[in-house]
Amino acid sequence: MQNNDDSKTKYTHIPVLAAPFIDGWLTDPDGCYVDATFGRGGHSRMLLSKLSEKGRLLGLDRDYQAVKEGQRLEKEDARFTMCHTDFAGMEHVLADIGWSKVQGIGFDLGVSSPQIDQAERGFSFQKEGPLDMRMNPDEGQTVSERLKSVSERDLVKILRDFGDERFAGRIARGILKAVHAGDMETTKQLENICFHATPPKARHGSTHPATRTFQALRIWVNDEYGQIETAVRCAMKHLEVDGHLSVISFHSGEDRRIRDFIEAEVHPCKCPREFPICVCHKTPTMAWVQKKPIRATEDELDGNARSRSAMLRIAKRVA
Ligand SMILES: C[S@@+](CC[C@H](N)C(=O)[O-])C[C@H]1O[C@@H](n2cnc3c(N)ncnc32)[C@H](O)[C@@H]1O
Pocket test of ligand 1: the residue of 34, 61, 92, 105 to mutate, having most ligand atoms within 8 Å of its CB, is 61
Domain limits, the chain: 18-113+231-317, 136-221
Which amino acid is present at 142?
Answer: T
CATH class of 18-113+231-317: alpha beta
Question: For every one of its 319 residues, what pLDDT tens digit does the chain have, with 9 covering 90 and above?
Answer: 444 455 555 568 899 999 999 999 999 999 999 999 999 999 999 999 999 999 999 999 999 999 999 999 999 999 999 999 999 999 999 999 999 999 999 999 999 999 999 999 999 999 999 999 999 999 999 999 999 999 999 999 999 999 999 999 999 999 999 999 999 999 999 999 999 999 999 898 889 999 999 999 999 999 999 999 999 999 999 999 999 999 999 999 999 999 999 999 999 999 999 999 999 999 999 999 999 999 999 999 999 999 999 999 999 999 9
CB 20 within 8 A of CB 31: no
- Up-side HSE of residue 195: CA atoms within 13 Å toward CB? 10
Give the whole-angstrom CA distance, residue 223 versus residue 160.
15
- Helix 64-76 with 42-50: angle, nearest 10 deg: 30
Ligand 1 probe mutation, 25, 38, 93, most atoms within 8 A of CB: 38
| b/e code 230-257 from CB counts within 10 Å (16+ = b) | bbbebbbebbbeebbbbbbbbbebbbeb
Judge contact between 184 and 144, C-beta under 8 A: yes
pLDDT of amino acid 101: 97
CATH topology of domain 136-221: DNA polymerase; domain 1 (1.10.150)
What is the distance between the alpha carbons of residues 154 and 158, in angstroms, rounded to a whole number? 6
168-180 and 152-163 helices, crossing angle to 10°: 130
Contact 236, 243 (CB under 8 A): no
Contact predicate 256/225, CB 8 Å: no
Say what the pLDDT of residue 232 is: 93
Q: Check if 42 has its Cβ closer than 6 Å to any atom of ligand 1.
A: yes
pLDDT at residue 3, rounded to an integer: 42
Judged by phi (left if over 0) then psi (alpha if -120 to 50, else beta), residue 133 lies in left
Please name the helix (run of DSSP H) or strand (run of DSSP E) that holds residue 187, with its range, or none: helix 187-197
Atom of ligand 1 nearest to the CA of 13: 9
Rounded CA gap, 184 and 105, in Å?
Answer: 39
256 to 40, 70, 112, 229: CA distances (angstroms): 26, 30, 21, 12
Which pLDDT belongs to residue 9?
53
Which residues lie closer than 8 Å to 38 by C-beta, 6 or more apart?
44, 59, 60, 61, 66, 67, 69, 70, 82
86 lines ligand 1 (CB under 6 A): yes
